[in-house]
Amino acid sequence: MFTGVKVFSATKAKEREELGENVTRWLRSNSDLEIVDRVVCQSSDNEFHCYTLVLFYKHTKPQS
């Protein structure tokens, strides 16, 4: 069971290079969340390559 979803997506080369750092930064700043599942997708056409990471999470502490 999950209570939230966070989507990271990158199409441009610079964005793809920074994607891992962005995910790590978000995880560190949301350490009260437990990741319960994830989906990683890659799509491409003749010009662009898009990476998408979807994190499903739940709160480890009850929400008020």
Chain segment 13-52, per-residue pLDDT in tens: 899 999 999 999 999 999 999 999 999 999 998 878 899 9
How far apart CA 35 and CA 50 sit, in angstroms, is 23
The pTM of this model reads 0.85
Residue 55 burial (CB count, 10 A): 21
Q: What HEC string does 32-56 produce? A: CEEEEEEEEEEEECCCCEEEEEEEE
The DSSP 8-state label assigned to residue 4 in this structure reads E
Q: What domains are there in the chain, each with its CATH number?
A: 2-57 (3.55.10.10)
